[in-house]
Structure 1
Amino acid sequence: MESRFRANHPLYKFFALCCFLLVVVFLMQRSNVSMDEELNQLPKVTRSEILSKPKPQQYYVKTSKCQIPYVDPFNSEVMEFYKPESLVTCSNQSDLIWTDYNERLKSHVLHIDEEVALQLLNFTDAEFNCFYREISYGSKADTYDKLRANKYFTDGYLVPRHVEGIIVECQTAEEPKLVLQKDAFVFIQYQQLPKDLVKPKGVRKPSVIMYGIDSLSRINLRRTMPKVFNFLKGPGWFEMQGYNKVADNSFPNILAILSGYSERTAKENVCDTNEPGCLDKMPMMWKFYENASYLTGYAEDESNSNHFNYLKPGFERKPMDYYFRPLLRALEEEMDVYRLPEHDYMRYCLGRRMANRYIYDYGRQFTHRFVHERPIWGMFWSNHFSHDDPFMPSAMQDKVLGDLLEFQGNKDFEEMIMIFFADHGTRFGRLTQLKEGFLEERLPMMFIYLPPWFRETYPTYAKALELNQHRLSSNFDLHNTLKHIVEIGGTPDGPQLPKSFDCPTCQSLFYPLPEDRTCSQAGIEEHWCTCEPYKVIHGREWTEPIADSVIDRMNEYLVHKNLSQLCSNLTLNYIHKTEIKTGLNASWHDELKEVETAVYRIKFKVEQNSADFQATVVYNSVTKNAEVDVEKISRTNTYKEDSTCIDDKLAKLYCICFSDLKPER
């Protein structure tokens, strides 16, 4: 009794509480000492990162021979006029006809929504009929013949396996017939596996899907599609931040990726890409994949402006297994076309759908249908929402993100390497006039995804790709990488595929790129190179002779091409900006002095139709002579209404037709 009383006495409780508090204080002090000791033991740079905010990125690439500065996509200069675009829909009606794919039957199914029909019939009991007309391929690879006879169908109709595209209509049954709704669908129809692929598999072959968006730089992707950019930062994705284009516009940049040639060397060694039949002869990438038993597919969304038909002859034979252009030609001619008022060049709507939805739906079908049972290669490319308006991608980002999420949801990414890329950045308009306009144009986005099994099987390739994210790379490296993927799935003693013809020093991105790589080693000519800094120079007496000399070379070029009877002689209006190449070792405060021979970058306007140009030129101030490849001079404002008198794709950049001359203001 006495001991129990003492244990509960208030003095004992107070004493116990004091002891407990002393222990707590002691432990907290020990904890603080331990944390300080751990921080002191960390490397200084790591400790600094923990105790301060991370520094903003300053460079895409910073190596001993190449420094490509990072551009804030939301800097104050661009935010003065950047405005995200709103999505314009092509129809407010619900779908009367819709399709799905029956996996068990390997067939597409047409469905009719009776509730939508009731609404379109104003809730009357009027009868209606639905029919489709099949799009049949033409005698030439790039055309379609005509629409076949009406084929009536009911809900649940199985589309025959030979049908790849249809125009559908639902009409009232009684006269006068009223069209309730008109629509179009394209189908990737199932193909049986070849016998050699049914056999037990050898080395696992990765599929390759190339998802392309025209004229989208890595800077503008971050600006207009932040949701997409965040997705592309996920596991397995690698951004080639040193990826630098090798030519001016779409065709030569895509040709370099798909063939390894420039137009000039192709003409010298294979054939002239302007001549009919040449594109069929070129060693295009899909041929190597077909030879390795890959199924191949290709689609673009603007038939007049696509890579192989804009001022080019196109293909005479069907180039790959699934080729979209004949279907697109039918859609463009048979469906109502809508163009955005401020961008009347590209078709925005084909019937009830945006043009790019047909393309990317075709790509998704192609991937979903085959990627889990056989190797495939496909390229799916959209021009219409990014070519004419650099900010229109902001309206499309949810659509593009939806495509990527669908690939992810179907587990397609587990089987394929994806190339998410562009051909170049913005080439015209206000973005090119910014301080960073040079970079906006020359640094297209480039992301490569490697599936988990590939990263585990080939860890050195994944490590090299991770390293190469911040090293200079080009279209020719991507060409070699695509061929490397073909070789990975082949036999160990199989022949190695030829590497890019135009760049013998280029390589697969699955091997580490040299730290001291230069533009010339990556097949990038000086005019497109973003590696070395330039400084602005002033003074008409210094800059005007350079511009005059460049314009002289341009006029000589028009004479040499026998175009001087059609194209006006060019004369200088004024100079926007002149810069001199300083080299990586120059300090910003070094005084600039006119030297006898130097490399200059000059932007100028000519009197004729206020055409703007940018040239990179080696200029001798003593001889007043400019060394410049005229066909590498950039046209930095639109020229579609200036050169209607000629069809030469390159000369159109520099020709101001007499017939198109506008009166001087």
Structure 2
Amino acid sequence: MMAKLQFPSLVKRHFQNDNVQHIPTEKTIKAIYDTFLEIGLVRDRERSGRPSVTTSKKLDESAEVLSNNSVGYNILGDGTPAQIIPMLTGMQEKELPSTLHRDKNGSFVNVYPFVWNKYRDQGYVTGYAEDGPNIGIWTLRLRGFNQTPTDHYMLPFYRLPVTKSFLYAQNSYCFGNQTSFELFLSYIRRFWTSYPTDNKFFFGFFKQYTHDDYSRGSLTDAPIFDLLRTLHKSGQLERTVFILMTDHGARFSAARRTPQGTIEERLPFMSFILPSSFRQKYPRAVNALRTNINRLTTPLDVHATLLSLLDMNEASSTNNVNVTQRAISLFNFDIIHIDFLPMQT
């Protein structure tokens, strides 16, 4: 566990008790721990023989790629389900059949009209990954899935006893020679490279580093960059609309009690990476996105955006949008029909 690496002598003694032949020095153990705290990685990066690029430069490059950042993306309610359920179903929880644990007649969440079902119906390979089932989106208050929801599903891995012993011990961030976040991203990477020519839809949600204290969020920077670099080198990023997002800001912290914290809690991060071929083929939709990211939007609009990606020819040619619709694709630009209700006197 990474917490124990704070005490190199204890780690060294552990290796001795296990009769490990090549025991690293305390200096090496401390260096591994310091590296993890700095960049979120415990293994060496691939090297080409040239000096490695500095982390700050890599993160600057990532920031440039993530330039389509929605500054007006707004939450719909308190907590994660209030954002993710509308994003993936187009409906709020109260509008869907009850799936609560306390409801004896409640359904499993498979009854929800998940957007990945629409992608699967159109021939896409689908995947879903979420860590921490003990505080899961679909398992904390809700009854969860009674059938595998997507073609690839990571939850069974997190329920294995060996996984729990590694990842759910206090202050544990490692699984073997990988951090828990590297492991999570490796599942997504393998999913993507396993279907190089197939259409794919994947939704991943990782919360271990930031659920209780978002100050550790920076540990995800370098691993995310490595994933983007892998997808770019393989050519997959050129065939992918990549959305990087958070569900909400801090809910329980000293920062949350400040005016700035209140704003951040309601305006989480949402960013789009679009392939160059997409930008060339649908310039009008891209211009609409660049305009709409400065408007007040919600998870319902993101759901409409995900649906529009299934038929961009139709989405990019739509001109008339009624602003009273509660869900409008971010690729839709011209809002020309506004109905105002008469004032009551």
Alignment TM class, shorter chain as reference: 0.7 to 0.9
Are the counterparts in 1 of residues 181 and 223 from structure 2 also a CA contact under 8 Å? no
What residue in structure 2 maps to residue 397 of structure 1?
A: 221
The SS at the match of 1:462 is: helix
Structure 2 spans left out of the alignment, 5+ residues: 7-18, 24-54, 319-323, 339-345
Q: Tell me the equivalent position of 1:360.
A: 185
TM-score (ref. length: structure 1) = 0.40
Shift of 1:462: 0.7
In the alignment, does 2:304 pair up with 1:480? yes
- SS of residue paired to 1:243: coil
Q: 231, 245, 248: which is aligned to 1:421? A: 245
Structure-2 separation of matches of 1:330 and 1:482: 32
Tell me how far 1:380 sits from its aligned partner.
Answer: 1.4
For residues 481 and 90 of structure 1, what CA distance do their matches in structure 2 show? Answer: 45
Task: Give 1:23-62 correspondences, 5 Å limit.
Answer: none
Alignment equivalent of 1:279, drawn from 105, 109, 132 = 109
- Residues 512, 488 of structure 1: alpha-carbon distance in 2 compared, 3 angstrom cutoff: closer
CA contact (8 A) 1:90 1:349 kept: no
Q: CA deviation at 1:337?
A: 4.2
Q: For the Cα contact (< 8 Å) 1:348–1:354, is it kept in 2?
A: yes
Alignment partners' CA distance in 2, 1:456 and 1:228: 26
Compute the TM-score of the two structures, normalised by the length of structure 2.
0.73
Q: Distance in 2 between matches of 1:480 and 1:486?
A: 10
What is the total number of aligned residue pairs between the two structures? 286
CA gap 1:469/1:90 in 2 versus in 1, 3 angstroms? farther
Residue identity opposite 1:505 in structure 2: R
Residue pairs, 1:75-90, within 5 angstroms: 88=2
Match of 1:369 in 2: 194
1:448-463 map, 5 Å: 448-463=272-287
In structure 1, runs of 5+ residues without a counterpart are: 1-86, 93-118, 124-224, 342-346, 497-502, 518-665
Residue type of the alignment partner of 2:136: N
3-state SS, counterpart of residue 312 of structure 1: coil
Q: Is the 8 A contact 1:90 1:354 kept in 2?
A: no
**Which structure has the greater CA radius of gyration?**
1
* Contact 1:426 1:441 survives alignment (8 Å): yes
2:129 touches 2:153 (CA, 8 Å); kept in 1?
yes
Q: Deviations over 1:270-311 (max 9, x none)?
A: x11215533111100110000010000011111111211112
Cα distance in 2 between the residues matched to 1:395 and 1:235: 19
| Equivalent residue number for residue 467 of structure 1 | 291
Aligned pair partner of 1:349 in 174, 177, 195: 174
RMSD between aligned alpha carbons?
A: 3.3
Counterparts of 1:481-630 in structure 2 under 5 Å? 481-488=305-312, 504-512=325-333, 514=335
Cα 1:484–1:312 shift into 2, 3 Å:
same
SS of 1:234's equivalent in the other structure is helix
Whose strand proportion is higher, 1 or 2? 1
Relative distance call for 1:122 and 1:416 in structure 2 (3 A) is closer
Tell me if the contact between 1:356 and 1:382 (Cα under 8 Å) persists in the aligned partners.
Answer: yes
- Aligned runs of 1:222-241 on 2, under 5 Å? 230-234=60-64, 237-241=67-71
How far apart, in 2, do the equivalents of 1:348 and 1:509 lie? 36
Distance 2:22 2:304 in 1: 60
8 Å contact 1:273–1:312 — kept in the other structure?
yes
Deviations 1:188-222 (A, max 9, x none): xxxxxxxxxxxxxxxxxxxxxxxxxxxxxxxxxxx
Q: Which residue of 2 aligns with 1:314?
A: 144
1:251–1:338 distance in 2 versus 1, CA, 3 Å = closer
1:505 CA displacement: 3.3
Closer/same/farther in 2, CA of residues 403 and 360 from structure 1, 3 Å limit: same
Contact 1:298-1:324 at 8 Å conserved across structures: yes
1:219-261: per-residue Cα shift (whole Å, max 9, x none)?
A: xxxxxx9878634443584111111111110012100100011
